[in-house]
């Protein structure tokens, strides 16, 4: 060895933070002391005993046995793209198969789109709290996430005046996560229409992250693109959440029919060529999912609702916590009444070390660290959750009263 000098990494990596996984390093340290950690940090239903529907597994297995083990075209196999196009069209957003792209999860669709839209210095409007992939990818691109407020005192609805005020000539896209991670909020139709109208008038892309659309407690959320088929809307979803197969990395994006999106679509396809294709056999599960039996969603949503009610009943009792009832998915964003000078990270790390419960601090989702927000994933069984909430409420009392 001629030198032991460490090899330099790019400065962009510094801005690329993804707290949901970064915090696992802390959990490993706690595990090394012999304490069991209860992982409530990642929104993955599989470790909590939920199962991928057998007909999707059969479709992937058949694809492999039938020899579909080579690269596919970079936009994905025809059968999957047609299924996506038919599904969107039947739900009121007319999409032709050449405007449907099969991606490695919702994540890759988001990354391809931001890559196609944002140069260094460009701005993208992102909600706070946000799903952190958006800010991480923008940091990598050297583009700027501009945060618009969603308001916990108004059921975590977006502040439309804030969105309007923040749109500038540098804005390239408006990100809307509805149903929302991390808050569990679902927006009413009037709010959705107002957001679409703002993007439409500013001639920017509305990136509709609809990965939790089928997991709304009051029935599937209507598509943004169905409300305004000619607005510049791109929708993202996947097999990860509503089809219980997050590890497969099977996702899709649907580009609205507006001609204003044609260049963006071409740019996305060009970028997609460079990564060859998303995992091939899993693409064969997309048609099976979108055309097949969806009864698992009814039982999954029933289970989620049960856990959401339990969460509100238990955390709502604590005088140290405030909590807005989620309306979809498996996340809730409580607020601990922080003593002065303490941060959300102090609370979350203290909770981890004292009880083994791993949550993610709100500042990992772009919230101010002194506001005391944190995210809980409530996928564990009701009995397990109940025990977890005993410890959480007890620790919150200890943390707040020690001030
Ligand atoms: C709002 C949101 N968007 C995108 C993703 C990424 O999902 P996928 O597994 O489809 O890439 C997640 C995952 O938790 C999410 O919560």
What's the rounded mean pLDDT across residues 48-53?
Answer: 97
User: Which structural domains are found in the chain, ordered by start?
Assistant: 12-51+296-401 (3.90.1150.10), 54-291 (3.40.640.10)
> Is the pLDDT reported for residue 258 higher than 90?
yes
Instruction: Tell me, in angstroms, the distance from the centre of ligand 1 to residue 174's CA.
Output: 17
Rg (CA), the chain: 21
Dihedrals phi, psi of 315, to nearest 5 degrees: -75, -30
> Is the pLDDT reported for residue 267 higher than 70?
yes
Residues 6+ apart with CB under 8 A from 86: 290, 291
Q: Nearest-CA neighbor of 199 among 223, 230, 226?
A: 230
pLDDT at residue number 403: 63
Instruction: Tell me, in angstroms, the distance from the centre of ligand 1 to residue 106's CA.
Output: 6
pLDDT at residue number 175: 98
Averaged pLDDT of the chain: 96
> Is the pLDDT reported for residue 249 higher than 80?
yes
- pLDDT band (50, 70, 90) for residue 162: very high
Q: Residue 189, class by beta-carbon neighbours within 10 Å (0-12 exposed, 13-18 middle, 19+ buried)?
A: exposed
Min mean pLDDT across 1-5, 51-55, 123-127, 355-359 is at 1-5
Hey, which of 41, 46, 106 would you mutate to test ligand 1's pocket, going by the most ligand atoms within 8 Å of its Cβ? 106
Which residues does ligand 1 sit against, CB inside 6 Å? 43, 105-107, 131, 177, 181, 209, 211, 238, 240, 246, 251
Q: Quote the CA–CA distance of 198 and 12 in Å, as a whole number.
A: 31
Min mean pLDDT across 115-119, 138-142, 261-265, 286-290 is at 138-142
pLDDT at residue number 15: 72
Hey, which of 240, 326, 328 would you mutate to test ligand 1's pocket, going by the most ligand atoms within 8 Å of its Cβ? 240
Instruction: Tell me, in angstroms, the distance from the centre of ligand 1 to residue 241's CA.
Output: 8
Number of Cβ within a 10 Å radius of residue 203: 9
Q: What is the per-residue DSSP string for 362-398?
A: GGGGT--GGG-BEEEE--S-HHHHHHHHHHHHHHHHH
């Amino acid at each position: 060895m001629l030198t032991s000098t460490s090899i330099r990494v790019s400065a962009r990596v510094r801005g690329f933070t993804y707290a949901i996984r970064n915090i696992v390093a802390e959990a490993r340290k706690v595990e090394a002391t012999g304490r069991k950690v209860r992982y409530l940090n990642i929104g993955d239903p599989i470790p909590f005993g939920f199962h991928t529907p057998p007909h999707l597994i059969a479709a992937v297995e058949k694809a492999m046995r039938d020899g579909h083990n080579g690269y596919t075209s970079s936009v994905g196999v025809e059968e999957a793209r047609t299924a996506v196009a038919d599904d969107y069209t039947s739900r009121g957003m007319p999409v032709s198969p050449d405007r449907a792209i099969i991606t490695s999860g919702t994540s890759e669709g988001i990354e391809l789109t931001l890559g196609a839209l944002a140069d260094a210095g460009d701005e993208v409007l992102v909600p706070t709290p946000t799903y952190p992939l958006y800010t991480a990818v923008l940091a990598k691109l050297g583009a700027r996430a501009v945060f618009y407020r969603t308001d916990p005192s108004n059921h975590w609805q977006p502040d439309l005046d804030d969105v309007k005020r923040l749109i500038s000539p540098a804005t390239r896209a408006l990100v809307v996560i509805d149903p929302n991670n991390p808050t569990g909020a679902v927006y009413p139709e009037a709010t959705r229409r107002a957001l679409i109208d703002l993007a439409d008038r500013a001639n920017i892309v509305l990136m509709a992250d609809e990965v939790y659309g089928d997991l709304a407690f009051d029935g599937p959320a209507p598509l943004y693109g169905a409300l305004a088929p000619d607005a510049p809307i791109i929708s993202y979803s996947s097999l990860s959440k509503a089809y219980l197969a997050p590890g497969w990395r099977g996702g899709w994006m649907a580009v609205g029919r507006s001609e204003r999106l044609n260049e963006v679509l071409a740019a996305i396809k060009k970028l997609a060529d460079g990564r060859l294709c998303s995992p091939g056999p899993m693409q064969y599960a997309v048609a099976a999912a979108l055309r097949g039996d969806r009864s698992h969603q009814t039982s999954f949503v029933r289970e989620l609702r049960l856990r959401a009610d339990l969460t509100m009943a238990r955390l709502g009792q604590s005088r140290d916590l405030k909590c807005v009832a989620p309306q979809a998915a498996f996340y809730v964003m409580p607020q601990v009444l922080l003593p002065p000078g303490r941060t959300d990270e102090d609370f979350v790390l203290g909770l981890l070390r004292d009880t083994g419960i791993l949550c993610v601090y709100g500042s990992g989702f772009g919230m101010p660290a002194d506001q005391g927000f944190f995210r809980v994933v409530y996928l564990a069984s009701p009995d397990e959750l109940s025990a977890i909430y005993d410890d959480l409420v007890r620790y919150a009392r200890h943390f707040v009263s020690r001030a």
